[in-house]
Amino acid sequence: LLSDQNIIYFLYNHQGSGTILSEDDSAYEGEFTEELVLTGKGKLTFSNGYVIEGLFSNKWGSGLKTNGTFCKPTEELNPLTTSKM
């Protein structure tokens, strides 16, 4: 799922603070090294809307380790509006 082959683009720097985008539309925003080792605070957003935010370690695609919060996407309710004619 999240492997080195799936990386499509680094935004900003190739190390330090920035964004890594994956072919499956997942995105990691935070600290990482040039070797794709996640090294601190970050936010991982999956294509299905799930989010993990916290402290990350280990190499992208090699069993990420995190201490943080996992959030499921919430469905927005669309209020029905009716009018009398």
CA pair distance 7, 52, nearest whole angstrom: 18
Over residues 49-76, mean pLDDT: 86
Dihedral sign for Cα atoms in the order 38, 40, 42, 45: positive
For residue 76, is it within any domain? Answer: no
For residue 84, is it within any domain? Answer: no
Query: 64: domain range?
Result: 4-71
For residue 59, is it within any domain? Answer: yes
Over residues 54-65, mean pLDDT: 86
Task: Say whether 31 sits in a helix, a strand or coil.
Answer: strand
For residue 30, is it within any domain? Answer: yes
CA pair distance 85, 82, nearest whole angstrom: 10
Query: In this model, does residue 53 exceed pLDDT 70?
Result: yes
CA pair distance 8, 58, nearest whole angstrom: 19
pLDDT at residue 29, as a whole number? 92
Task: Provide, rounded to the nearest whole percent, the portion of the chain with pLDDT above 70.
Answer: 69
